[in-house]
Amino acid sequence: MAEGLQRELDDSIKRGDQGETIARLLASSIQGEDGSYTLDTLRECVVAASLIHDINALDALPLLLTSGKLGVVELLNLIGENVNARECVIALAEQLERLGSDLSVSDEEDEDEEEEEDTDAEGIVDHGPPLPVSQLTRLLNLYSQVTPRLRKLTGKPASDVVLPLVDNMQAGVRVHGPHANDQNARELIIAVSRNVRTLSAWTETGEDPNEGSKCNLAIFEFVLFTLEACSKGTNIHLSQRAFEAQFPRYALRPDPSAASEVEDVVQTVWEALSQIGFNSSDLLKHPSIGALSLFAHVVQHPMESELFSLLPWFLAAIQTNTSVDETYQPSSSYL
């Protein structure tokens, strides 16, 4: 089958319709039911024929972002790293707008059940369509690959690119972040942290300082919003470990360090923010539940005055059952 695909791609070069041929083969692989070839096979043949740059992002990305076929992530990575950056941004913007306005999201229990059914069924190679929050994570990961390449192609001020993009990303997180389960929320937070690093590059090297400050503040506020919306993914049992450190006799687990096996994705976000000049004092200047979450993860021994300045957000978090793990951890130092 690979030989047949390779011949078809080679013939398309002679005809001059490489892009159309790849789009047709891609749609056939994703939508067809004959299972004649996989996305991995198609990707390998496209690479072998040196046709990577002929992939039309406007055709490919809408199909791939909503597909659960085996090999879709590898093909998305190939596109994100090589295909025309402007076309990718246009296609991603359309999909981001779709996700940001899609209010037909399932409850968390429904999402958990659907993912378990797709991933645990024996004998099934391809999964069903990914959940909207997983599509959003894929999309943000692609942005982190495409944005650095787009920078070389545009002379626009940083804010003309960064601010609308951050607004659209935040719209997607607003709709789908609160419905994500623990793992999906962590993956979404990591995807956001990757974009902190790439978007901040637009504010460097010769930009107007005001442009840089404006963009970095928008990125910072987007991160805080994401941590609040995806608070299910930030729980690494901070409060439990802090309580056990203060009162070891009341430890519920024989090994208080067992919770450390859970990845602290908030630290990943904080490392990215630190690289663009933010520190713990900025969390107190921009108080929110997201700032409280970051504060709990990065400040080991908070001062009483710092906790007092965050008091309204402690209460808001408790009332809304948001970031509860982070809410109780700092105050445990004063038990």
Asked whether residue 242 falls in the same domain as residue 187, the answer is no
Note whether 222 and 308 are same-domain residues: no
pLDDT band at 313 (very low <50, low <70, confident <90, very high): confident
Secondary structure (DSSP) of 117-181:
HHHH-TT--S--PPPHHHHHHHHHHHHHHHHHHHHTT--S-HHHHHHHHHHHHHHHHHHHGGG--
pLDDT at 106 over 50: no
Q: Are residues 258 and 319 in the same domain?
A: yes
| Domain end call among 229, 248, 273 | 229
The band of 256, judged by pLDDT with boundaries at 50, 70 and 90, is very low
Kindly state whether residues 201 and 158 are assigned to the same domain. Answer: yes
Q: Choose among 85, 190, 81, 72: nearest CA to 130.
A: 72
d(CA 311, CA 332): 14
Confidence grade of residue 266 (pLDDT, cut at 50, 70, 90): confident
For residue 25, is it within any domain?
Answer: yes
Q: Give the residue among 153, 282, 276 at the shortest CA–CA distance from 204.
A: 276
Task: Read off the pLDDT of each residue in 134-159 and give the average, rounded to a whole number.
Answer: 85
Proportion of the chain above pLDDT 90, given as a percent = 41
Note whether 278 and 174 are same-domain residues: no
Separation between Cα atoms, residue 280 and residue 266, nearest integer Å: 13
Please tell me which residue, 152 or 79, carries the higher pLDDT value.
Answer: 79
**86/211 same-domain check:** yes
Domain holding 47, by residue range, is 1-55
Looking at the fold, whether 240 and 320 belong to one and the same domain comes out as yes
**Hey, how many other C-beta atoms are within 10 angstroms of the C-beta on 267?**
14
Within 10 A of 237 (CB to CB), how many other CB atoms are there? 17
Q: Which two tokens stand for residue 208?
A: 């107007």
User: Tens of pLDDT along 40-53?
Assistant: 999 999 999 999 99
HEC letters along 24-59: HHHHHHHHCCCCCCCHHHHHHHHHHCCCHHHCCHHH
How far, in Å, CA of 230 to CA of 175, rounded?
Answer: 11
Identify whether residues 275 and 193 lie together within a single domain: no
Q: Is residue 120 in some structural domain?
A: no
At position 22, the amino acid (one-letter code) is I
Q: How far apart are CA 10 and CA 8, in angstroms?
A: 5
User: What are the two backbone dihedrals, phi and then psi, of residue 121, each rounded to the nearest 5 degrees?
Assistant: -65, 125
Higher-pLDDT residue of 94, 306 = 94
Q: What is the pLDDT of residue 194?
A: 94
Nearest one of 226, 218, 230, 228 to 276, comparing CA atoms: 218
> What is this structure's pTM?
0.82
Q: How many Cα atoms are found within 13 Å in the side-chain-facing hemisphere of 39?
A: 24
**196/301 same-domain check:** no
Amino acid at 158: A
As a whole number, mean pLDDT of residues 2-9 equals 86
Q: Interior CA angle at 13 toward 7 and 19, to 5°?
A: 100
Rounded Cα gap, residues 292 and 62, in angstroms = 37
pLDDT given at position 245: 59
- When pLDDT is averaged across residues 101-114 and rounded to a whole number, the result is 51
Please indicate, yes or no, if residue 110 is contained in any of the structural domains.
no
Asked if residue 320 is part of any domain, the answer here is: yes
**At a CB cut-off of 8 Å and minimum separation 6, what does 202 contact?**
147, 151, 158, 161, 162, 215
- What are the structure tokens assigned to 25, written together? 């083969």
Residue type, 320: T
Task: Tell me whether residue 60 is in a domain.
Answer: no
The 10s digit of each residue's pLDDT in 56-85 is 999 999 999 999 999 999 999 999 999 999
- The number of distinct structural domains making up the chain is 3
Q: What is the mean pLDDT of residues 257-262?
A: 50
Which of 196, 229, 262 represents a domain boundary (last residue)?
Answer: 229
Q: Within a domain: residue 118?
A: no
- Output b/e per residue, 94-104; b: 16+ Cβ within 10 A: ebbebbbeeee
Diameter of the chain by CA atoms? Answer: 77
| d(C-alpha 211, C-alpha 165), whole Å | 15
Q: What is the DSSP string of 201-236?
A: GGG-SS--HHHHHHHHHHHHHHHHHHHHHTGGGS-S
Whether 303 and 333 map to the same domain: the answer is yes
Same domain, residue pair 144 and 265:
no
Of 143-147, 182-186, 240-244, 289-293, the range with the lowest mean pLDDT is 240-244
Alpha-carbon distance values, 215 to 19, 127, 198, 212 (Å) = 36, 38, 12, 5
Is residue 115 one of the residues assigned to a domain? no
Q: What is the mean pLDDT of the chain?
A: 80
Instruction: Tell whether 81 and 200 lie within a shared domain.
Output: yes
Last residue of some domain: 194, 229, 264?
Answer: 229
251: left (phi over 0), alpha (psi -120 to 50) or beta: beta
Confidence of residue 31 (pLDDT cuts 50, 70, 90): confident
**294 located within any domain:** yes
